[in-house]
């Protein structure tokens, strides 16, 4: 029986989303714990502009185990906050979250996706390459990029 539920953003999970993303960023790429403005106000940063945000929730524990966000800019999108808790990786949870994002992109006419990914995240890099992304030398739109990030682009 499937124990993972996939849902669109729900404000009742806001604190848990912030905690999950902080923990993920610290664990995977050694970023400090802090209030991240986009996560602190998902409705304003993602939803209002036509983007979206999805959660994977373990129904046995009712805990968030994965997130992914789409920041929409005209017909371009930025994949943000894509994390799956380590013990849930390699179980197609990230694939399902990502498929939800791409399906939504079709609905809202996003033609190009961009993302920045920590250069030490080899498994994530493989995931992006396997899903049609190309690594690029510089970002073609204005977005936050970490000092140790690799950049990716996919034409849908």
Residue 11, number of CB atoms within 10 A of its CB = 8
Dist CA 141 CA 111 (whole Å): 14
Domain ranges of the chain: 4-155
Per-residue model confidence (pLDDT) at position 142: 86
Dist CA 115 CA 111 (whole Å): 14
Dist CA 4 CA 130 (whole Å): 23
- Tokens representing residue 38 in the block: 């986009």
pTM of the model: 0.92
pLDDT 10s digits, 43-97: 999 999 999 999 999 999 999 999 999 999 999 999 999 999 999 999 999 999 9
Query: Above 70 in pLDDT, residue 1?
Result: no
Dist CA 104 CA 110 (whole Å): 9
pLDDT 10s digits, 113-148: 999 998 888 899 999 999 999 999 998 888 888 788
pLDDT 10s digits, 22-38: 888 888 776 766 778 88
Give the architecture-level CATH label for domain 4-155.
Answer: 3-Layer(aba) Sandwich (3.40)
């Amino acid at each position: 029986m499937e124990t993972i539920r996939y849902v669109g953003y729900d404000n009742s999970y806001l604190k848990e989303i912030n905690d999950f993303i902080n923990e993920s960023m610290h664990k995977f790429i050694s970023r400090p714990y802090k209030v991240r403005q986009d996560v602190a106000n998902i409705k304003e940063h993602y939803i209002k502009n036509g983007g979206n945000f999805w959660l994977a929730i373990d129904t046995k524990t009712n805990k968030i185990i994965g997130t992914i966000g789409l920041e929409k800019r005209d017909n371009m999108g930025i994949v943000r906050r894509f994390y799956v808790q380590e013990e849930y990786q390699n179980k197609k949870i990230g694939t399902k979250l990502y498929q939800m994002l791409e399906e939504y992109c079709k609905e809202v006419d996003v033609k190009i996706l961009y993302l920045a990914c920590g250069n030490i995240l080899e498994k994530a890099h493989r995931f992006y390459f396997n899903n049609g992304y190309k690594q690029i030398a510089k970002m073609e739109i204005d977005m936050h990029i970490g000092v140790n990030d690799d950049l990716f682009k996919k034409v849908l």
